[in-house]
Amino acid sequence: MSMVDLDSLGFRPPRPVAGDDGSRRTVLYGEYTVFSVFQPVFSVSHRRAIGYHASLRAQDDTHRHVPSHEVFTQAARRGDLLELGRLAESLHLGNFNAFDSHDEWLFLSLHPAALMDTSYGDALVSALKDIGLPPQRVVLEVPEQAGGETTRFTEIVDTLRKSGFLIALDGFGVKHSNIDRMWQLRPDIVTLDRCILQQATEHSHIERVLLRLVSLLHESGQLVLMGGLSTERDALIALECNVDFVQGAYFAQPSIEAVHPQVAASTMDTLTAASREWIAARDRAQATRLEPYVSGLEHASVKLMMEGESLTTATSELLQLADTARCFLLDQAGRQIGDNVVPVRRTSQRAKRFSPLLHSEGASWEQRPYFIEALRAPGRVHLTAPYLSINEAHLCVTASIAAQTPYGLQVLCVDINWEAAPRRR
């Protein structure tokens, strides 16, 4: 007779109890055996696992694996959820403590209901004391959407931090995430949501945004973890974005055993070598793509600044290149001399929508990298990273060169439409 049939007849399965399976602890609940698995979290710089994320696995009395959420669903229906949850947490603590290590962190995912329980922290500290594991070894993963906007939730998180726990804001970047939330909770670690990585693999501009997001989090005082990395491509994006920690099936599956240090170092070394090759190939492709614009700008500079030709005439060859968006000239204070010189093409709908920004005579560009870098080394072409052009609100790369003219030092620039660039991979 099935478990559901037993329920309908008024019978109840045994309550969840602690058990063991050889050297590891388990939880026994009816026909189910629940046990811990640990997925390593690697530090890119240290080339080793610096922590383990605990999760649950379950199997029935025929040793068939079943999703752990099915066990908890039944426990919730029978009123055993709180008891099973506490036993599961104790399970993680005991099994992690059995690892032959004294340095790594234990990452524990917290249910929002547990977080709002003011007695939770004290109970966890007591459980840690019983097994001799200091709170500093435990990273409590707080769901980004937990607790709403309540002051009480922030106070509870702050109390956990004062007890010695590290705080990780989990799932940052999903749905209604905002930077204010992160500043309010002041986590030690921010875990980026998997959806950001998925979008970054599909859209190059989101990948660039991801790089800047990681930089912003670092400037705000947070370490950054990117999880859910299942392919080499995922891992390479994580490395290029300069995250601190990585986790996912690409590196190691959840296991009941700790990862061997030599295996971890070898995996990181292989990935780092692949990253160097990837970046070198990308740089070569970009250099090839930009070479006509670099040489065109050099020729235009000679015609304009030494031979005295007009801006339109001097840049005529540049304007014929496929992705030239505009050419413009700046004085030594960064003010634009005259208006933009643009290719003779049909005006795009995008350009029409941003028409108030198209005319730039007299505009000040003194804070722009293309102006600053050109003044630092006159006579050399400088290239910016892709950025959003204010003139047509599209991504562009600007090439610039400074030279002396009868009117003083001037900077000749060309904007290259980067949205037309091919994907890097």
Range of the domain at 175: 3-259
Helix%, strand%, coil% for the chain, nearest 5: 40, 25, 35
Domain containing 189 — which CATH number?
Answer: 3.20.20.450
Q: Which residue has the higher pLDDT, 33 or 17?
A: 33
- 296-303 contacts at long range (C-beta below 8 A, 24 or more positions apart): 296/321, 296/414, 297/381, 297/399, 297/400, 297/401, 297/412, 297/414, 298/381, 298/401, 300/327, 300/412, 300/414, 301/401, 301/403, 301/412
Structure tokens given for 163:
């007890």
pLDDT in the model for residue 174: 64
> Are residues 412 and 369 part of one domain?
yes
Domain presence at residue 277: no
> What is the spatial distance between Cα 297 and Cα 291, in angstroms, rounded to a whole number?
10
Mean model confidence pLDDT for the chain: 84
Confidence bin at 4 (pLDDT 50/70/90): very low
| Same domain, yes or no: 254 and 298 | no
Q: Is the same domain home to 46 and 190?
A: yes
CATH at residue 349: 3.30.450.20
Cα distance between residue 42 and residue 373, in whole Å: 37
Lowest mean pLDDT among 106-110, 177-181, 212-216, 288-292: 177-181
CA 350 distance to own-chain centroid: 30
Q: What is the pLDDT averaged over residues 390-416?
A: 90
CA distance 228 to 168: 16
DSSP string, 79-129: T-HHHHHHHHHHHHHHHHHTSS-SS-EEEEE--HHHHT-TTHHHHHHHHHH
Last residue in a domain, options 240, 259, 278: 259
Give the count of domains, the chain.
Answer: 2
**In a domain? residue 314:** yes
Whether residue 12 is predicted with pLDDT greater than 60 in this model: the reply is: no
Identify whether 273 is part of a domain: no
**pLDDT tens column, 68-122:** 888 888 877 887 777 777 778 888 888 888 876 678 999 998 766 667 777 778 8
Read off the pLDDT of residues 33-55 as tens digits, 9 standing for 90 and up: 888 899 999 999 999 999 999 98
Statement to judge: residues 384 and 304 lie in one domain: yes
